[in-house]
Amino acid sequence: MILPLFRGPNLMTKLTRYERLKRLLACFSSEDHVLVLINADPDAIASAMAVKRLLWRRVASVTICHVNVIKRPDNLSMVRLLDVRMVHIDELDQTRERKAVLVDSQPSHDERFKTFRPEAVIDHHPDTGVKAPFVDIRPKYGATASIMTEYLRAARIKPSAKLATGLFHAIKTDTSNFERKTLLEDLKAFQFLFRHANIPLSRRIEQADLRFDFLKYFRIALDEMQLRGGRMFVHLGEVVNPDVCVLVADFFMRLASVDWSVVSGINDQKLVIVMRNDGIRKNAGKLAKESFGHIGSAGGHQSMSRAEVPFERLDFLPGETDRKLISRWIIDQVEKRTTSGVQKPASDTEMKKAIFGRPS
């Protein structure tokens, strides 16, 4: 049976889940070698796993191919713990004729996608006017994994624990544990996946956000942190990855007595300053702009922000590699902008109380 080709997202919303599934599957035959193209993050990886499962025994082969380099330790552990087999685009045998499927992205999102003419595009980002034989773009969804869960359910496939865990982790990640805008459909998918997922495994993936070589920055952070009022400051010096500043800043926010955390590091000839606060009558984005916007780029939201100052703009500091000097300068910049005026540095008892809790 030849199904009419689908050419727009509006028609798609009127189709039942089963009809959508039928149309997607009708794009492929048993001789096809399928390439699932992704920009690897948890949602894209899990969605690609779901496509592979949907096409299992229906096509000749399915290869998952990522265009980015996976660096984040939690993403690396997801790939490892869920046994996801993928190839980087540079290692792909491009001579082979393949039908491409793009999930959690659209062709215009990456230069390297543009060289493929995808057979199917399934995504939840705003529609960029994708033209393909099969298009299913639902921008209101919190995750592509929720859409893929609907396809699996329409196909009456019971997901393996690893696939379910991947999709479960993807929805948690893309919705920030449902703190971001989501649909009832995301919750329904989540509820379904919960029954099949390995929850300790999902937690393990989530927790694995540290690399061994990050630990030394935690030592610097604990040795050199300065608590002033409720504000925690530390400058980590040269860091291998600016993500370290985010991890340390989030770590300090776990202290009940800390209501601001300002953590900086030097990476790629730039001073990166990461700010976090408790979200109560504070604006991290504004503070970052006021403190560092005149000398670099700065921006963010109410409770999280980031500023980047090119190294050469710091030439007024006599020794820009001196951690203490940079730390001093950052504290000055931030404290100059705060309305409450000059804050006294924390006393030893205040510091101890913050770290170890109330002394008995």
Give the whole-angstrom CA distance, residue 233 versus residue 227: 6
136 makes contact with Mn ion (CB under 5 A): no
Instruction: Tell me which stretch binds Mn ion (CB under 5 A): 41-49, 62-70, 295-303, 341-349.
Output: 41-49
CB of 125 to Mn ion, least distance (A): 7
Q: Which of residues 103-132 bind Mn ion (CB under 5 A)?
A: 104
Instruction: Check: CB of residue 67 under 8 Å from CB of residue 109.
Output: no
Element (H, E) at 79: helix 73-81
- The smaller minimum CB distance to Mn ion, of residues 104 and 186, is found at 104
Give the whole-angstrom CA distance, residue 287 versus residue 225: 20
- The smaller minimum CB distance to Mn ion, of residues 98 and 169, is found at 169
Contacts made by residues 114-121, CB under 8 angstroms, sequence distance 24+: 116/35, 116/37, 118/37, 119/27, 119/28, 120/24, 120/27
- The smaller minimum CB distance to Mn ion, of residues 144 and 291, is found at 144
CB of 252 to Mn ion, least distance (A): 29
CB of 124 to Mn ion, least distance (A): 6
- The smaller minimum CB distance to Mn ion, of residues 42 and 300, is found at 42
CB of 42 to Mn ion, least distance (A): 8
Strands (E), the chain: 33-38, 61-66, 86-88, 99-103, 120-123, 134-137, 226-228, 231-238, 260-267, 270-277, 297-300, 304-310
The closest residue (CB) to Mn ion is 43
Instruction: Tell me which stretch binds Mn ion (CB under 5 A): 167-175, 207-215, 289-297, 333-341.
Output: 167-175
Tokens 């409720």 sit on residue: 230
Residue 327 is encoded by which pair of tokens? 């730390």
Give the whole-angstrom CA distance, residue 60 versus residue 43: 25
Residue 282 is encoded by which pair of tokens? 């504070």
Give the whole-angstrom CA distance, residue 219 versus residue 291: 27
CB of 145 to Mn ion, least distance (A): 7
**One residue of 20, 23, 39, 43 binding Mn ion per CB under 5 A:** 43
Q: Which residues contact 24 (CB under 8 A, 6 or more apart)?
A: 54, 120, 122, 134, 136, 151
CB of 109 to Mn ion, least distance (A): 11
CB of 313 to Mn ion, least distance (A): 35
Instruction: Tell me which stretch binds Mn ion (CB under 5 A): 141-149, 234-242, 267-275, 332-340.
Output: 141-149
Instruction: Tell me which stretch binds Mn ion (CB under 5 A): 137-145, 147-155, 179-187, 193-201.
Output: 137-145
Instruction: Tell me which stretch binds Mn ion (CB under 5 A): 87-95, 97-105, 237-245, 343-351.
Output: 97-105
- The smaller minimum CB distance to Mn ion, of residues 43 and 186, is found at 43
Q: How many residues bind Mn ion (CB under 5 A)?
A: 4
- The smaller minimum CB distance to Mn ion, of residues 33 and 188, is found at 188
CB of 347 to Mn ion, least distance (A): 47
SS3 content of the chain, % helix, strand, coil (to 5): 45, 20, 40
Instruction: Tell me which stretch binds Mn ion (CB under 5 A): 19-27, 153-161, 170-178, 283-291.
Output: 170-178
174 makes contact with Mn ion (CB under 5 A): yes
Instruction: Tell me which stretch binds Mn ion (CB under 5 A): 30-38, 43-51, 154-162, 192-200.
Output: 43-51
Instruction: Check: CB of residue 153 under 8 Å from CB of residue 193.
Output: no
Give the whole-angstrom CA distance, residue 278 versus residue 256: 10
Instruction: Check: CB of residue 79 under 8 Å from CB of residue 208.
Output: no
CB of 284 to Mn ion, least distance (A): 24
Binding-site ranges for Mn ion (CB under 5 A): 43, 104, 144, 174
